[in-house]
Amino acid sequence: MAIRSAKGSLIKLGNAASPEVFTTITQVRSIAGPTTKSTVQDVTTHSTSGNWMEKLATLIDPGSFSFPLNYDKTDTAHAFATGLWSKLIALTLANYRCVLPASIGYFEAAAYVTSHQFDLPVDNVIRANMELMMTGAITTANTAEPS
């Protein structure tokens, strides 16, 4: 069994060029997600035998992923005018890539920044808690990230 530490996982933001170049969003503390789920519909009818519900999986919701980061106003991905905040305010769809350490793999999806919440504890560093809501298919691979 190859259990690995998550330390070294990265969130990257695409630049929408062709070919697209992904730049690491720095100072990420932890990553949660994606929270991908299938939508399940109740298809039980009066003619269904017995007392059991029948269900059908219909669509897949790619979900979201979230991460807190140590806020650095000098980092272009953090700065109000050029970073994740500006993507939230402008409702900008962008491509994001989450890279797992040790060439375990990666996933990539288009997403909107849907939450940008500052955490300002008196006894700790300034953090921003980010949520990215994915739309469309998620591309996955159990290989090293393409260059």
The reported pLDDT for the residue numbered 3 is 83
Q: What is the pTM of this model?
A: 0.90
List, for residues 82-135, the tens digit of each pLDDT value: 999 999 999 999 999 999 998 899 999 999 999 999 999 999 999 999 999 999
> Could you tell me if 128 and 41 are in contact, meaning their C-beta atoms sit under 8 angstroms apart?
no
The reported pLDDT for the residue numbered 1 is 57
Per the omega criterion (within 30 degrees of 0), is the bond before 34 cis?
Answer: yes
Identify the helix (H) or strand (E) that includes residue 85: helix 84-89
Residue 8 region by backbone torsions, left for phi larger than 0, else alpha for psi between -120 and 50, else beta: left
Domains with residue ranges and CATH for the chain: 10-141 (2.30.110)
Residue 2 has pLDDT above 80, yes or no: no
User: What is the arithmetic mean of pLDDT over 4-16?
Assistant: 93
For 104-137, letters b (16+ CB in 10 Å) and e give bebbbbbbbbeebeeeeeeeeeebbebbbbbeee
> Could you tell me if 25 and 9 are in contact, meaning their C-beta atoms sit under 8 angstroms apart?
no
